[in-house]
Structure formats: structure tokens, C-alpha cells
């Protein structure tokens, strides 16, 4: 175990925990609001471990939506993880299948963004242990905060505005990743499409926005020759 790389991962993800904590509390509270108990909150957090899809699934369960619709919605929202996996896979090429399974389980937006940024800037980083430092920290904090949210239930005042912290987490990841024209165009186009497509069924707007944003970024890079960030 490379403890230095692991500690660095923990250190790098620490600022994002300020947004993850209220995010987890909101997910736990949503479990109670949907009429589910603590075991369901723990089960969702451990098995699904995906905040956006958990919230969407809980909202549908609270509306008595068919289980097939709930599952389909969660799957569609999490399809972005396929893109993350494909992107980060080359860095994990030499790991065993067992390790790859573990790393895949704890893959999140934050773990992906921080790890890939670190790999690109520091080729000497122990990839596995840095990634685990980020991902395991996120996993542990998510479990604790969702359980706390479920226990607190509706006791958390609306005035705290916990929901506001959720987009801030993603903004904290997005802004440092905008390094050139291609990434800037991808961010702007993806954001606009996400807003326009917010009303699409099964939360397809997120997936469509991801695809369109990536395409716009690739096209921009092909035109500019990828020299903006050099």
C-alpha cells in the first residue's frame, strides 16, 4: 500500500466533502420522505452509491411509480459512468480483475475527475492508492451522512438550504477542468442542453447533455488542433 498516495487522495477530496455532506443528508431525508426506513437508506447507499440516481429513484418511489420505471431511471442517470469507465480504464489496465471490480464499485463523478486530473499532471502517482484515497473517503462520508439524514428525517429545517450544496459540488469539479476552448465549449454546450432537456422523461436530459457536450468538445478540439491549453 502506498500510504503517501492514499493520503494525498484524501487531502485532495477533502474540500469537496463540504458539498458531499449536505448532499448525503438530503439523500437520507429523501428516503424518509419517500416512506422508507433506515434499512432502505443504508441499502440504497451501499448498493447503488450514486447520489443523483438515488434522489431520482426516491422521488419516483414517493410518487408510487412502477418499479420498472424507477430502475430504468436510475440506470439511465448512471449511464454517464460508462463514459467515465471508458476514459479511466487505460490507467487501470495493469490491475487484476478483482481490483478493477473494487475500483468500479466506488467510481463517482468526483473520484473520476480528481483521479484523471492527477494522473495527467503527475505520472509518478500510484494510481490505485490515490484513487482509493479519494473514492473510499467519498464512500465513507456518503454512508455516514445518508444514515444521519435518514435518522434526522424531516427534523432538518428547510432554511438550511441543503439542496443548494449539490450543484456547488459539481461546479467545484467542473471549473478547474476547463483548461482550453474545447473543455470550455463542452461545459457550456453540455450545461445549456441539460437545462433545456431537464423535462425529458427518465432524466434523459442528463445523458443527452453529456453526449452533446462531449461531441462539441471533440469537434472544437479537432478545429483548434488542441493547442489552446499548451
- How would DSSP label each residue in 9-68? HHHHHGGGHHHHHHHHHHHHHHHHHTT--HHHHHHIIIII--HHHHHHHHHHHHTT--HH
**pLDDT, position 230:** 47
Secondary-structure breakdown of the chain: helix, strand, coil percentages, each rounded to the nearest 5: 85, 0, 15
Please report, for the chain, the start and end positions of each structural domain, with discontinuous segments joined by +. 3-167, 178-229
**Given this model, what pLDDT does residue 157 score?**
64
Gap between the Cα atoms of 223 and 225, Å rounded: 6
Assess contact for 148 and 28: CB atoms under 8 A: yes
Q: Say what the alpha-carbon torsion angle 22, 23, 26, 27 is, to the nearest 10 degrees.
A: -140
Can you say how many angstroms the Cα of residue 172 is from the centroid of all Cα atoms in its chain?
Answer: 12
Long-range Cβ contacts of 120-127 (<8 Å, 24+ apart): 125/5, 125/8, 126/2, 126/4, 126/5, 127/91, 127/92
What pLDDT is attached to residue 205?
Answer: 73
Query: In a structure prediction context, what are the per-residue pLDDT tens digits for the chain, which is 230 residues long?
Result: 889 999 999 999 999 888 888 888 888 888 887 777 788 888 888 888 887 788 777 777 777 778 887 787 778 778 778 888 999 999 999 999 999 999 999 999 889 989 998 998 877 889 999 999 999 999 999 999 999 988 886 666 666 655 555 566 566 656 766 778 888 898 899 889 988 987 777 666 766 887 888 888 889 888 876 555 44
Amino acid at each position: 500500500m502506498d500510504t503517501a498516495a492514499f493520503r494525498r487522495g484524501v487531502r485532495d477530496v477533502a474540500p469537496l466533502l463540504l458539498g458531499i455532506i449536505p448532499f448525503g443528508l438530503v439523500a437520507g431525508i429523501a428516503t424518509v420522505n419517500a416512506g422508507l426506513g433506515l434499512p432502505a437508506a443504508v441499502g440504497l447507499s451501499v448498493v447503488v452509491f450514486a447520489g443523483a440516481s438515488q434522489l431520482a429513484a426516491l422521488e419516483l418511489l414517493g410518487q408510487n411509480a412502477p418499479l420498472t420505471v424507477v430502475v430504468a431511471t436510475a440506470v439511465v442517470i448512471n449511464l454517464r459512468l460508462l463514459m467515465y469507465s471508458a476514459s479511466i480504464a487505460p490507467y487501470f489496465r495493469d490491475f487484476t480483475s478483482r481490483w478493477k471490480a473494487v475500483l468500479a464499485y466506488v467510481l463517482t463523478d468526483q473520484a473520476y475527475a480528481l483521479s484523471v486530473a492527477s494522473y495527467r499532471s503527475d505520472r509518478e502517482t500510484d494510481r490505485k492508492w490515490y484513487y482509493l484515497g479519494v473514492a473510499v473517503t467519498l464512500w465513507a462520508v456518503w454512508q455516514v451522512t445518508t444514515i444521519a439524514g435518514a435518522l434526522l428525517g424531516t427534523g432538518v429545517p428547510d432554511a438550511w438550504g441543503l439542496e443548494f450544496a449539490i450543484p456547488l459540488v459539481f461546479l467545484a469539479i467542473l471549473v478547474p477542468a476547463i483548461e482550453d476552448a474545447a473543455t470550455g465549449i463542452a461545459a457550456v454546450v453540455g450545461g445549456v442542453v441539460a437545462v433545456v432537456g431537464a423535462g425529458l422523461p427518465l432524466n434523459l436530459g442528463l445523458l443527452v447533455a453529456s453526449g452533446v457536450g462531449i461531441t462539441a468538445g471533440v469537434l472544437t478540439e479537432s478545429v483548434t488542433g488542441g493547442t489552446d491549453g499548451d
